[in-house]
């Protein structure tokens, strides 16, 4: 079946611009996660959505970062006033809820801030 999809695959933006990254999780998965992968910081958790519960935003690095999940499915990660240190690969993952379910990752969006 279809996996997690993300768009765009690559995004180049100028410093100070806003960007939106999109994630389509696997159908039926109730949990959705955003992570960031960069050379200096490795893989970092950003935010986690579970059903109708309040999201876990504990990993968002600043208030320039926000995310929403509409209708319990598609999610958008927004970065306002981008900075060069925001350059990274942004990975989305989804999973079932329940005992021990693993997360399935999308191919990522490579963001470059010039």
Q: Could you list the residues that contact other proteins (CB under 8 A)?
A: 4, 31, 33, 35, 42-43, 45, 48, 50, 56, 58-59, 91, 93, 95, 97-108
Residue closer to other proteins, measured from CB, 28 or 98 = 98
Q: 105 near 92, Cβ under 8 Å?
A: yes
3-state SS, residue 110: strand
Q: 111 near 90, Cβ under 8 Å?
A: yes
Minimum CB separation from other proteins for residue 34, in Å? 10
Minimum CB separation from other proteins for residue 90, in Å? 11
Residue 84 φ then ψ, to 5°:
-60, -30
Residue closer to other proteins, measured from CB, 30 or 82 = 30
Residue closer to other proteins, measured from CB, 71 or 100 = 100
Tokens for 96? 């079932």
């Amino acid at each position: 079946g279809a996996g997690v999809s993300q768009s765009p695959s690559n995004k180049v933006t100028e410093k100070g611009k806003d960007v939106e990254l999109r994630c389509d999780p696997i159908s039926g998965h109730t949990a959705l996660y955003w992570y960031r992968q960069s050379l200096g910081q490795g893989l970092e958790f950003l935010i986690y959505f579970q059903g109708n519960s309040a999201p876990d935003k504990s990993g968002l690095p600043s208030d320039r970062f926000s995310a929403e999940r509409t209708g319990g499915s598609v999610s958008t990660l927004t970065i306002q006033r981008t900075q060069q240190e925001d350059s990274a690969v942004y990975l989305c993952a989804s999973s079932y809820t329940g005992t021990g379910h693993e997360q399935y990752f999308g191919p990522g969006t490579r963001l470059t801030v010039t």
